[in-house]
Amino acid sequence: MNKILEELQRISKLLLGSERLSHVESCVNFAVQLARIHGIDEDRVVLAAFAHDIFRDVKPTVLLTMATVYRMRITELEKLNPILLHGKVAAEYIKRRFALHDRDILDAIAYHTSGKDHFSDIGKIVFLSDSLEENRIYDNVDWLREMSKEDLNEALFLTAGNKIQYAIRRGLFILPETVKMWNWLVKLRREDYKWN
Ligand SMILES: [Fe+2]
Ligand SMILES: [Fe+2]
């Protein structure tokens, strides 16, 4: 695990700008806090949080080439906006480079922007840390941070809702995986006491 982190650190310094590096560092710190509070394996959370944006600053054409070389399925939306591929390409790279087959870690990296249904706790933590780390400033962010320390599912529901509303207000695409996660969370919530 330490060897992987060392190499990721080297790659991050080569590929990421200083703002992005600061985001990743802050994301790892927030993810560690959530892992401790919720009793989730810290090492796996750190690895996923550390790796989530390693290819976020490479050119869109490079992401498309990597996805093609890796024989990944590229959706219509990803063709239109190849930056969307940065999580999936990072997960595929980590899997191949380190022979790492931990599905929860790989999915947490691949789906950190969109989210996904039946997301693992590691996935939930990385998704939330990406949106709620201390450099992020927007309405309600403090409240969402507190919520993420109390209840991962509720925080995921609220943060996903926030992202969806943001996309609608600005006329942006909503990723199909985000809609699937949203519907999954609504279902979970209905089964839970909150809506009974
Ligand atoms: Fe990202
Ligand atoms: Fe990020």
User: Residue 191 sits in a domain of what CATH number?
Assistant: 1.10.3210.10
Task: Residue 61: name the closest of 77, 76, 79 by CA.
Answer: 79
Amino acid at 102: D
Q: How many residues does the chain have?
A: 196
d(CA 53, CA 159): 19
pLDDT of residue 1: 79
Distance 195 CA to ligand 1 centre (A): 32
Q: What percent of the chain has pLDDT over 70?
A: 98
The Å distance, Cα 88 to ligand 1 centre, comes to 10
Is it the case that residue 196 has pLDDT exceeding 60?
Answer: no
Q: What is the mean pLDDT of the chain?
A: 96
Domain tally, the chain = 1
CA angle 156, 81, 92 (to 5 degrees): 70
> Can you tell me the distance from the alpha carbon of 196 to that of 193, in angstroms, rounded to the nearest whole number?
5
Give 130 Cα–ligand 2 centroid separation in angstroms: 5
Query: What domain range includes position 178?
Result: 2-195
112 burial type by CB count under 10 A (0-12 exposed, 13-18 middle, 19+ buried) = buried
pTM of the model: 0.96
pLDDT band at residue 193, thresholds of 50, 70 and 90?
low
**pLDDT tens digits for range 110-167:** 999 999 999 999 999 999 999 999 999 998 999 999 999 999 999 999 999 999 999 9
